[in-house]
Structure 1
């Protein structure tokens, strides 16, 4: 399993293995937003839609959000704060939007929710708002990967704004070209296997 740890970088996905029982992360798919050997890792869970409609909390952004237009549970840290991801049309960096670090080619970035939505309305092609995020101290995620809690895989453009988030875990695993494709068929209770 050597060589897995350095495969963590911004824009990749962490997919919970069936062994990961922590209710915060069970069957989750996490997009890595920041990774620093010394500073740790930050990401958001992509497949946890909440019951809270965006228009209830951030009405001015509702029109720009990609369905389902609810807040997503980004992770267990700072659940009372919102973080937004958006894809933009051009290679430019519009005001109020910041490209994911270290990814010059990506059109994915974070949105400043204090900015007026009008200035971004013409630029944003897709957007999702997350309550909270997932965070790991330096070295913590690497040791969880070694313990078998996470698979690290490449993301595809459709993952972040997937319209069927409940099936994202299986979909991401199913497209892998190795034994991970079989994991997607695991029953919800692994003891039944």
Structure 2
């Protein structure tokens, strides 16, 4: 995948991306990740990387996906497409937001009982459910970053709270990086159809 336009600071391969977000570059055409925002929960040179797509709501709640989760506490909890790997595996994550906008404590791969306890403990907890995840073998994500397939950014509460807005939030996030990227993000999928 060769994306010729490099409009962002070059990613440093010695940086750990755990807790960061990846914004797909506007030229990334892979249907699994086009116009996506991914949260990276684990990134290591030895183990590879794991993350979930934040802006692909399935339009269903947890109770609609699996009736065994019928609990009034979680009945309206939306489920997102987490990625192309293990699409039938449910991942529950909770973010406890701190006073600084991009500071949080992550609880990833927890069960519903733990999610409920966390929510009862603090109003600054946001819970999300994902079917599937994104995964990269050791060095694979670093290679994609060196080819400018991804833009690295920080997750903050404002972005996280808009994740059900799919492509709109991706456009806003990518467009906020530079005017050139905003122009690319605002282009139609097929510019020949106008």
What TM-score do you get using the length of structure 2 for normalisation? 0.76
Name the residue aligned to 1:75: 83
Give the root-mean-square deviation of aligned CA atoms: 3.0
Change (3 A) 1:84 1:191: farther
Deviations 1:84-118 (A, max 9, x none): 22123779xxxxxxxxxxx9x52332252153654
Partner Cα distance (1:25, 1:39) in 2 = 21
Deviations 1:66-87 (A, max 9, x none): x7x3210000111111112212
Give the ranges of 4+ consecutive aligned residues of structure 1 lying more than 6 Å apart after TM superposition: none
| Native 8 Å contact 1:31 1:46 kept in 2 | yes
Name the residue aligned to 2:118: 120
User: Any unmatched runs of 5+ in structure 1?
Assistant: 92-102
**Number of residue pairs matched by the alignment:** 178
CA-CA distance at 1:152 after TM superposition:
1.5
User: Any unmatched runs of 5+ in structure 2?
Assistant: 1-5
CA-CA distance at 1:52 after TM superposition:
2.7
2:59 matched to 1:51? yes
CA-CA distance at 1:163 after TM superposition:
5.2
| Native 8 Å contact 2:115 2:127 kept in 1 | no
Change (3 A) 1:121 1:15: closer
Where do residues 1-193 of structure 1 align in structure 2 (5 Å cutoff)?
3-6=10-13, 7=15, 9-56=17-64, 57=66, 58-60=69-71, 63-64=73-74, 69-88=77-96, 106-110=104-108, 112-113=110-111, 115=113, 118-124=116-122, 125-162=125-162, 164-166=164-166, 167-177=168-178, 179-189=180-190
Partner Cα distance (1:87, 1:135) in 2 = 20
